[in-house]
A and B are shown apart, each in its own frame.
Chain A
Amino acid sequence: MNKIWLIIQREFMNRVMKKSFLIATIVVPLIFPAIIGLLVYIEKQSEKNSKKEIIHYVDESGTFTPDTAKFLFKNFSGSLDDAKKAYDASDDFGLLYVPKYELSKPAGITLYTKVNPSLEDVSGLERIFESQIKERKMVKLNIDQKILDSLKTDVSVSTVNLTDDGKEKSSNTGLLSGIGMAGGILMYMFIFIYGAQIMQGIIEEKTSKVVEVIVSSVRPFQLMMGKIIGLASVGLLQFLIWMILMSTLTFGVLGYFGIDPPQKQAMEQMQKSNPEAKEQLQKAAGNSATVKTINEVVNMPWGYILSVFLFYFLGGYLIYAALFAAVGSAVDSPAEAQQFMFPITIPLLISYMGLFMFILRDHDSTISIWLSIIPFTSPIAMMGRIGFGVPMWQLALSMILLVGGFVLTTWVAARIYRVGILMSGTKVNYKVLAKWFMQKG
């Protein structure tokens, strides 16, 4: 036991002291918020800086009132042909022709441009006309704006889960899917990256021949388990650092761009009682969806989700790490490992695709449930379901099977490993692996 501990320590230190670990641990959580931040920043900047496009217009209807929110309008009094010539000579964006039209059937409004206008520009113009026509119609029909406003009702369906004990908890399907997807992808990445590292490490030990010295001091099983557990602890550490860094950074970035956590927003509301307050309130109302989401994010059962994630992270990692270890022990180079990687990759790919094809679409379908119970697919599949709430018996069954699966793969892997690490230069195929598996000590 003492010796396994030594190997765990050694393995842990080897990985953690590497530059690549430091870089991956610090950089990865920086990348995502940085990308989001950069995109938001660019968008905000371009909104602020962009020059308004100039549009010439010829108004034959006599009703068009330029709305300068998005465009700068330049009136041209004269015929359309003259206007076209004038526009051709200019560098401006477009020429808008507004003929006489009927309110009920507006037709013939045309935008001439030199380059293809963006969808956004066209719909922007359309919106200007639509609202102006609407106003004119209301005047014509004697409808007061107030009456119209009072007709407008805002309905949003809130989804509420009834738990077994009769308590209600609000749920946000989008958010839960997001959690499921993020958890599933994270799990997939972790298993692959760390599994590959286990394999790599074992191939290195084998090719550098150090393994014979080591197994003259410890049992092969101890060496294998020490390496697997050591790497698991590295993975946990990395995951923990990521979580801390990411949540800090995400809140930081969101805060910087004015998407504040709810408490701060409420406080700002209180402080502002000047004439701007009204406008501020309206803005807050517009933001209320964001506020609601953030509230829901804060109110998610994070403890539960995280502890389930950690369990499946460890279980999923262990069930596959043992297999990766067996492959590493059997071959002399990573290239040779390819042929044995295939059967390991299949269940991972199935669960990854299942996550998107079935689980995120319908987390309670039969196939989703089975994917989340079968040990080889459950680590990724369960992540997709966990946010939505999983019946206790399914969770328990899945966990028990996962532990059982881990014991089984480790037993199988250890039998191959103990023989494989001492065999270099052997041409290995599945038959040879089976022979090693059957071979007695």
Chain B
Amino acid sequence: MDALQAQHVSKRYTNHTALDDVSLNIPEHTIFGLLGPNGAGKTTLIRIINQIINKDEGEILIFGEKLKPSHIEIIGYLPEERGLYKKLKVGEQLLYLAQLKGLSGPDALARIKVWLEKFEIKDWWDKKVEDLSKGMAQKVQFISTVLHEPKLIILDEPFSGFDPVNAQLITEEILDLKKKGCTIIFSTHRMETVEDLCDHIALINRSKKILEGSKKQVKEQFKTNTFVVEHKGSFSLNGSYELLNQQPIEDSFFQSTIKMKDVKRPNELIQELIQLTEVHSFQEKVPSMSEIFISLVKGGINHE
């Protein structure tokens, strides 16, 4: 079952359209990357899912049910613009936020203790948030997001403000949550995170969804039948192959980038190459998420 389905969702303001007929399927137990440049409409979509604002058209289904107020309790949301009450103590703060999410007082208290222990920050209970460093406050905020054990977790740029050690800690927690059966929506610009963590992605650009699928599918879709070969001695190619680039590495070794014009199997290229040179390595050049992102977003601009 899909954790979340968006069907033809639109949101219009007086002067612009924030979302235009966006449909998405976010499968359960996955980490889903919601990508897009600034101002594409990601935050609008996230706010609609969190029922902070209403959609104009379309339907959102959470685990097959139409979006309703009680869904708040199974969604955890970490906004891009982090914020906590500065004057409130860490313990009181977490308790308050958890109760707003529908947890009972004693339940919330027990869970806060577990999390504070897990992050080794038990002695922060009585500290005011304004006395914490940015990274420390981020930890507290992350706890507040997952405290009510949401089944759907929405993280907007979760790693901004974390040092590498804490980013690693949070990454582990996210993977752990996925293992426990949570579905996680990542909204981010950081393509390395997407590369490392996401199973599925969708790309939103200019209010429209322009790409969606599993990471593998997407890469398959965007591969250009280009291969990188390391070989001894130079050669030239013609016919159905195009030698895009050939550069010496060291001694008589070269690296060549070859594109297959007609769709053929890689083995055919290898056979061809063996006759021409001594092949030391052969690898298909798969586009990185970053390359796909840039080509699509830029392409979108070029069209107009």
Contact = CB atoms under 8 A, between A and B. Distances in A.
A213 B79 contact: yes
Contact of A208 (B13, B83, B99): B83
Contacts of B101: 217
A217 B14 contact: no
B79 A441 contact: no
B72 A216 contact: yes
A14 B87 contact: yes
Contacts, number: 62
Given A14-B88, A216-B52, A209 B75 contact: no
Interface string A415-430: 0000000101000000
Contacts of A440: 54, 56
A263 to B, nearest CB: 49
B100 to A, nearest CB: 4
B54 A215 contact: no
B50 interface: yes
B127 interface: no
Interface in A397-417: none
A10 interface: yes
B99 to A, nearest CB: 5
A435 B14 contact: yes
A153 interface: no
A14 B97 CA distance: 14
Nearest to A418: B53
B75 A216 contact: yes
A6 interface: yes
Q: Which of A205, A213, A440, A441 has the most CB of B within 10 A?
A: A213
Contact of A218 (B13, B84, B100): B100
Contacts of A137: none
Nearest to A218: B100
Contacts of A7: 100
Chain B, interface size: which category?
A: 20 to 34
B79 A3 contact: no
B242 to A, nearest CB: 50
A213 B84 CA distance: 8
A6 B100 contact: yes
Interface string B85-97: 1111000000011
Interface in A163-220: 204-205, 208-218, 220
A210 B88 CA distance: 12
A210 B84 contact: yes
A3 B81 CA distance: 23
Given A209-B79, A212-B52, A422-B52, A217 B84 contact: no
A360 B53 CA distance: 49
B5 interface: no
Interface string A264-301: 00000000000000000000000000000000000000
A51 B241 CA distance: 121
Nearest to B141: A213
A213 B77 contact: yes
Contacts of A214: 97, 100
Contacts of B77: 212-213, 216
B99 A439 contact: no
A440 to B, nearest CB: 7
B144 interface: yes
B100 A209 contact: no
Contacts of A14: 87-88
A218 B69 CA distance: 9
Contacts of B97: 213-214, 217
A209 B82 contact: yes
Given A218-B100, A440-B56, A212 B85 contact: no
Contact of B81 (A212, A217, A441): A212
Contact of B83 (A10, A209, A218): A209
A229 B141 CA distance: 27
A3 B96 CA distance: 10
Interface string B1-45: 000000000000110000000000000000000000000000000
A441 B54 CA distance: 5
B96 A208 contact: no
A220 B86 CA distance: 20
Contacts of A3: 100
A193 B50 CA distance: 34
B96 A10 contact: yes
A210 B75 contact: no
Nearest to B56: A440
24 contacts: A3-B100, A14-B87, A205-B83, A208-B83, A208-B84, A208-B86, A209-B82, A210-B84, A210-B85, A212-B77, A212-B81, A213-B79, A213-B144, A214-B97, A216-B72, A216-B75, A217-B101, A218-B100, A422-B47, A424-B81, A435-B14, A439-B14, A440-B56, A441-B54
Interface of B: 13-14, 47, 50-54, 56, 72, 75, 77, 79, 81-88, 96-97, 99-101, 141, 144
Given A10-B96, A213-B84, A217-B101, 14 more contacts: A6-B99, A14-B88, A205-B83, A208-B83, A210-B85, A212-B52, A212-B81, A213-B77, A213-B97, A213-B141, A214-B100, A215-B52, A217-B97, A440-B54
List the 10 closest pairs (A to B, CB-CB), nearest first: A209-B83, A441-B54, A210-B83, A217-B100, A209-B81, A216-B50, A212-B79, A216-B77, A208-B83, A215-B52
Interface of A: 3, 6-7, 10, 14, 204-205, 208-218, 220, 422, 424, 435, 439-441
